[in-house]
């Protein structure tokens, strides 16, 4: 059996419970410094993702849609992505609203950086994650099947739906040749 650092047997930790009860979850880069999907479980469990790069392009960075239930500044609440009125467009997701990015050189002081975020802002960031997680998962591809069966995700609000809308918008905005 494995031994802990002090020679004792390590205590088993439930991964989901640990993330659910944490405010911040570290999201290291993927293999060779590339993107990883470690932000998904963090968002799913309401744990603010902490990225180890300020230059990394965020997933679905130019996705449109609400970030927070009932936020009057965001169109449509947390329901399905709906078309806005004529000429109106929401801005892209601002990942800073629900995640933290630091340079690798700042990892030694990460605890100080995170402690400096006011508690009220941490609560707002976690609340915004409630309007984001569903848009990061492709739940409509496997409706009612594991691992998505218990999530109560709405197919009209998942990543596939958002990606199709995003591609349609890019096609409309593309310069004509």
Place of tokens 């609440």: 77
For residue range 51-82, list pLDDT tens digits in order: 887 766 677 666 655 544 433 333 333 333 23
Nearest to 95 by CA among 134, 69, 45, 56: 56
Q: Structure pTM?
A: 0.69
Residue at token pair 């990015």: 101
């Amino acid at each position: 059996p494995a031994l802990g650092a002090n020679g004792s047997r390590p205590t088993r930790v439930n991964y989901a419970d640990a993330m659910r009860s944490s405010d911040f979850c570290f999201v290291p880069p993927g293999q060779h410094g590339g993107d990883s999907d470690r932000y998904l479980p963090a968002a799913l469990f309401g744990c603010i993702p902490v990225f180890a790069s300020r230059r990394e392009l965020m997933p679905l960075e130019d996705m449109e849609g609400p970030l927070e239930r009932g936020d009057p500044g965001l169109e449509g609440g947390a329901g399905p992505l709906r078309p806005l009125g004529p000429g109106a467009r929401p801005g892209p997701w601002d990942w800073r609203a629900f995640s933290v990015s630091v340079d690798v050189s700042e990892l030694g002081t990460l605890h100080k950086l995170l402690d400096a975020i006011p508690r009220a802002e941490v609560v707002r960031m976690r609340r915004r994650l409630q309007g984001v997680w569903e848009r990061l998962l492709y739940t409509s591809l496997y409706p009612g099947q594991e691992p998505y069966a218990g999530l109560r995700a709405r197919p009209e609000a998942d990543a596939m739906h958002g990606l199709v809308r995003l591609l349609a918008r890019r096609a409309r905005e593309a310069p004509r040749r």
